[in-house]
């Protein structure tokens, strides 16, 4: 093998996660291969759609046509306000009812076991079930039950799944962090309360551990809330812009990997 396995680690962030599309577009335009993807929450949604064979142009069109009202099914709030059946069906349709192991490239989908606090990584099984679990924001979505587990948003335990991408075999990990750097001053609904609380929790968690990716891309989307679905185009463009800035570093990481491999072969 004379080229590295390049993995993406796509993080959580609600609507800010549309920036992942901009990242993927720029990588593809510059012929940087995407060999595998680990995704958390919105990152898992993007990963699964891309892995199911939707090209980047179609993904852009889907994103820009997104309307929350078509995909959210509100329910009597017992374990969450949104039942999640509509969005699960949406995922099933656009991923052609496939299992994760049937996707075009290896995909790892991260969720959190609500009862044990364990990280759960799906590498096989129905895509729609796994992604539905990964996006189940606590208190907003009803948790997803899979094989006896009660599962919620993967971002609760692993906001940017770098370690998952490495465990999947990536030699170089390009991580994308779309977390909310700036805390909202305006809180006008229970949804804002929940999402703001999660953003604060994740911001504090980051202080206790640096991300260990080879490349960390942080699109400038911190001023958007996780519910900023009216700003999708701007969020995507932010992903494109920040990725272009990192192209030299990505190319350098690939070159260093090849050089290291060459040196190892010489020593044999």
What is the DSSP secondary-structure string of 31-92? T----EEEEETHHHHHHHHHHTT--HHHHHHHHHT--HHHH--B--SSSEEE--HHHHHHHH
Catalytic residue among 12, 41, 48, 225: 41
* Single pTM value for the model: 0.89
Q: Give backbone dihedrals phi and psi of 138, rounded to 5 degrees, phi first.
A: -55, 130
Please state, in angstroms and rounded to a whole number, the distance separating the CA atoms of residues 50 and 103. 9
The per-residue DSSP string of 116-164 comes to T--EEEESSSBHHHHHHHHT--BEEEPPEEETTEEEEEGGGT-SS-HHH
Q: Quote the distance between the C-alpha of residue 160 and its chain's center.
A: 7
Choice among 35, 113, 129, 153 that is catalytic: 153
Nearest to 236 by CA among 3, 17, 10: 17
Look at residue 59 in the predicted model and tell me its pLDDT. Answer: 95
73 included as an active-site residue: no
In the beta sheet, which residues pair with residue 90?
Answer: none
Q: What angle is formed at CA 208 by the lines to CA 203 and CA 211, rounded to 5 degrees?
A: 80
Q: Would you give per-residue pLDDT tens digits along the chain (268 residues)?
A: 689 999 999 999 888 999 999 999 999 999 999 999 999 999 999 999 999 999 999 999 999 887 655 556 555 455 666 888 889 999 999 999 999 999 999 999 999 999 999 999 999 999 999 999 999 988 888 999 999 999 999 988 899 999 999 999 999 999 999 986 555 556 556 666 666 666 666 665 555 444 678 999 999 998 887 777 889 999 999 999 999 999 999 999 999 999 988 887 777 6
Among the listed residues 264, 138, 257, the one whose alpha carbon sits nearest the alpha carbon of residue 191: 138
- In three-state secondary structure terms, 206 is helix
CB atoms within 10 A of CB 162: 24
Sequence ranges of the domains in the chain: 6-267
Q: Is 153 among the residues known to form the active site?
A: yes
CA atoms within 13 A on the CB side of 149: 20
Query: How many other C-beta atoms lie within 10 A of the C-beta of residue 173?
Result: 27
Architecture of domain 6-267: 3-Layer(aba) Sandwich (3.40)
């Amino acid at each position: 093998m004379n080229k590295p396995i390049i993995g993406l680690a796509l993080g959580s962030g609600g609507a800010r996660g549309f920036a992942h599309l901009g990242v993927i577009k720029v990588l593809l335009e510059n012929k940087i291969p995407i060999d595998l993807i680990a995704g958390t929450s919105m990152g898992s949604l993007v990963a699964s759609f891309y892995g199911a064979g939707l090209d980047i142009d179609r993904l852009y069109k889907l994103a820009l046509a997104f309307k929350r009202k078509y995909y959210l099914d509100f329910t009597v709030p017992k374990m969450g306000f949104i039942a999640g059946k509509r969005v699960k069906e949406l995922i099933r349709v656009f991923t052609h009812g496939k299992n994760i192991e049937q996707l075009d490239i290896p995909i790892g989908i991260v969720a959190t076991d609500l009862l044990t606090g364990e990280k759960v990584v799906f590498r096989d099984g129905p895509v729609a079930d796994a992604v539905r679990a990964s996006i189940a924001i606590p208190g907003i979505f009803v948790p997803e039950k899979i094989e006896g587990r009660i599962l919620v948003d993967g971002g609760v335990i692993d906001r940017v799944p770098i370690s998952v991408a490495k465990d999947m075999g990536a030699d170089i990990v390009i991580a994308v962090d779309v977390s909310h750097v700036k805390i909202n001053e305006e809180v006008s609904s229970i949804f804002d309360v929940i999402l703001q609380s999660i953003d604060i929790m994740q911001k504090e968690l980051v202080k206790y551990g640096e991300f260990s990716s080879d490349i960390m891309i942080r699109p400038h989307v911190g001023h958007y809330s996780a519910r900023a679905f009216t700003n999708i185009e701007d969020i995507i463009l932010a992903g494109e812009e920040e990725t272009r800035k990192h192209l030299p570093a990505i190319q350098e990481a690939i070159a260093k990997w090849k050089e290291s491999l060459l040196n190892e072969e010489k020593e044999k």
